Structure 1
Amino acid sequence: MFRSVAIKAIFSIAAFASSVSALEFRITASGLDKDRHSYELELMELALSKADGDHTLTLVDPGNSNQTRLLAQLAAGSEEFDVIFSGVSKERYESLTIVPIPLQRGLLGHRILISNEDSLPALQTVETFEDLKKIRIGSGTGWPDTEILESAGLNVSAAAYENLFTMTDKGRVQGYARGVAEPFAEVTKRSESHPNLRVDSSLMIVYPFDTFFFTGPEDQERADIILQGLERAYEDGSFMAHFNSHPNIQSVFEQAQIDNRLRFDIPNPLLPEEISNLPDHLWHGR
């Protein structure tokens, strides 16, 4: 059961309103949370504020629907929502309309592990990829990341997003693979319910990957509006200002200490050619 949040952020660019229709952008994601997903939601607000026209943004509560179901509904022409943000895969690229701007500049393809006190020593003794393959890694059901990790020969257990914190806390997986912008806030938020969770400081798995906005397969209009807004945000510096100032991103550089980790690069067989060929300036570190 979907529920629309009754707060509509309205963005007006009067100079262009006469030539562009005003559209409602109803956005959702698996486990949609205004705090957890503030970076992506604020980026959508920024895009709409930069694009031509007067548009509204509505957050749609996905209820218990997982990512796989939400994507299938959007591909089938959902009447409940118009936009979803999700990791990219060839299947999603072919069945939906992608806005070809990586939202976290590729940071989502830098994966570090949430672990617990008992499992940390096993992670800290990893020296080779063969060592890494012995670690039980948790990743979300239906996530492209899960297939990418499995295709590299890693030992992956798939489960629902929230369940994986419990599995990690209880040691059923030794590491829960998360994008570098994600785990610190997630562990802090669960400090009372899962007090044994820790963020490992030794390892990082890297592959070309990120989150993108998607619209329905026939909804090129909304995709073009979002793309126009994001491109203008890059041109005037506001995209990078958002990236550099957002707490979730700042924590990557302040807490994750990317350069001090043992790095394992693996391929991404799910990446569409168009995304592989995006300009380097859209990806961090290139």
Structure 2
Amino acid sequence: MGYRLIRCVVAFWLCVFATSSAAALWTITYPRPIDEGDARAEYPIALLKLALDKTGVNYELRPSDRILLTAKAMRQLKENREVNVVWSMTDSQREKELMPIRVPIAKGLIGLRLFAINEEKAARFNRVRSIGDLLKLTPLQGEEWPDTKILQASGFNVFTVPSYAQAYTLLMQGKGDFFPRSLIEIMPEMEDQGRAAVLRIEPRMALYYPTAMYYFVSNSNQTLANLIETGLQRAIQDGSFDALFTATFNEVIDELHIEEREVYTLDNPLLPPKTPLTDERLWYRAGSEAASQ
């Protein structure tokens, strides 16, 4: 009888533990975007919700109390303050300081760069016929962005600024020649604050370098990392990841004529060795072959 009683007690507490774990509320805080209508944040938030829904956990997903730009958000995440998940482009340093969930959430589109240009300088781009011609022009980029080092390693003389908003301001003032922005960023940014009245998207070219935008968590939060990765993998397997990606990006891919552009491919010396480049499920592949550097 004693042994049976012990088994019953153990079984009871296992059930209680399982029930309480499922009922526990996970509070997951991401960086508050610059404004509530920031279209660039809509897809990462939607995909994070999808992944969490796939796990069946009870969660609350909410923005941080204050606006956090990426560099500040990454520092706060490292210190376990204000946020516990951030999405950003990866590099080796970020993967040392934080824990990446190595599923490229935008299927590599973060590395496909189109050019915001000032109308007054459009003629300069009409004369570009090679990567060598493009290297003669000056791109604007953020001071702490991995993109800056990638462009510099390829030979570009980069004009750096503290934030993307300042890059657009300078471009509108005629400073620098172009601002390379990812396919997932450039359309909503150009429409913001009337920039399209002065600027336009260069229609013929693009840059590409292999990179990924991941969800990152603190190195001390393996449990949350496992939770998000489990949800993403389930969404990949059942097709809902691809369905969300297609619904979000296919229209802009068509509108920007990605398949028709001449794409100059750059090396990425910052690409971490564990980037899952060989898993074709995780990457968008343009139909036309990209031009090499």
Asked if TM exceeds 0.5, the reply is: yes
- Write the distance in 1 (CA, Å) between the matches of 2:213 and 2:138: 24
1:197 maps onto 2:204 in alignment:
no
Structure 1 counterpart of 2:257, which letter? Q
Q: Do the aligned residues in 2 keep the contact of 1:67 with 1:142 (CA within 8 Å)?
A: no
1:58 maps onto 2:67 in alignment:
no
- Write the distance in 2 (CA, Å) between the matches of 1:163 and 1:90: 26
Structure 2 counterpart of 1:245, which letter? A
- Write the distance in 1 (CA, Å) between the matches of 2:181 and 2:117: 11
Q: Do the aligned residues in 2 keep the contact of 1:208 with 1:267 (CA within 8 Å)?
A: yes
How far the C-alpha of 1:96 sits from its partner, in A, is 0.4
Structure 2 counterpart of 1:94, which letter? K
How far the C-alpha of 1:143 sits from its partner, in A, is 1.3
| SS at structure 1 position matched to 2:170 | helix
Query: If the length of structure 1 is used for normalisation, what is the TM-score?
Result: 0.87
| SS at structure 1 position matched to 2:197 | coil
How far the C-alpha of 1:277 sits from its partner, in A, is 4.2
1:26 maps onto 2:29 in alignment:
yes
Q: Do the aligned residues in 2 keep the contact of 1:29 with 1:85 (CA within 8 Å)?
A: no
Match runs of 1:204-283 below 5 Å: 204-246=206-248, 249-277=249-277, 279-283=279-283
Q: Do the aligned residues in 1 keep the contact of 2:32 with 2:63 (CA within 8 Å)?
A: no
Unpaired stretches in structure 1, ≥5 consecutive residues = 1-15
Structure 2 counterpart of 1:122, which letter? R
- Write the distance in 2 (CA, Å) between the matches of 1:116 and 1:56: 42
- Write the distance in 2 (CA, Å) between the matches of 1:17 and 1:156: 55
How far the C-alpha of 1:91 sits from its partner, in A, is 0.5
- Write the distance in 1 (CA, Å) between the matches of 2:255 and 2:94: 32
Structure 2 counterpart of 1:82, which letter? N
Go from structure 1 to structure 2 and tell me whether the alpha carbon gap of 1:31 and 1:208 turns closer, same or farther (over 3 Å shift). Answer: farther
Give the one of 98, 104, 107 matched to 1:105: 107
Question: Over aligned residue pairs, what C-alpha RMSD do you find?
Answer: 2.0
Go from structure 1 to structure 2 and tell me whether the alpha carbon gap of 1:19 and 1:77 turns closer, same or farther (over 3 Å shift). Answer: closer
Q: Which residue number corresponds to residue 163 of structure 1?
A: 166
Q: Which has the higher helix share?
A: 2
Structure 2 counterpart of 1:48, which letter? L
Comparing 211-220 with 178-187, greater Cα deviation is found at 178-187
- Write the distance in 2 (CA, Å) between the matches of 1:30 and 1:22: 24
Structure 1 stretches of 4+ with a deviation exceeding 2 A read 16-22, 29-36, 65-70
- Structure with higher Rg: it is 2
| SS at structure 2 position matched to 1:253 | helix
Give the paired residue count: 266
Go from structure 1 to structure 2 and tell me whether the alpha carbon gap of 1:276 and 1:125 turns closer, same or farther (over 3 Å shift). Answer: farther
Deviations 1:45-95 (Å, cap 9, x if unpaired)? 1111111321110111543x54223212211222x1101111100011111
Q: Which residue number corresponds to residue 131 of structure 2?
A: 129
- Write the distance in 1 (CA, Å) between the matches of 2:246 and 2:175: 36
Deviations 1:174-233 (Å, cap 9, x if unpaired)? 111100122122212232x56211011111111111211000111111111111111111
How far the C-alpha of 1:113 sits from its partner, in A, is 0.5
- Write the distance in 2 (CA, Å) between the matches of 1:280 and 1:29: 32
Q: Which residue number corresponds to residue 9 of structure 2?
A: none
- Write the distance in 2 (CA, Å) between the matches of 1:108 and 1:272: 15
Structure 1 counterpart of 2:142, which letter? G
Unpaired stretches in structure 2, ≥5 consecutive residues = 1-17, 287-293
Q: Which residue number corresponds to residue 76 of structure 2?
A: 73
Q: Do the aligned residues in 2 keep the contact of 1:111 with 1:178 (CA within 8 Å)?
A: yes
- Write the distance in 2 (CA, Å) between the matches of 1:197 and 1:261: 19
How far the C-alpha of 1:31 sits from its partner, in A, is 3.9
The share of aligned pairs that are identical, in percent, is 27
- Write the distance in 1 (CA, Å) between the matches of 2:122 and 2:110: 22
| SS at structure 2 position matched to 1:36 | helix
Q: Which residue number corresponds to residue 38 of structure 1?
A: 42
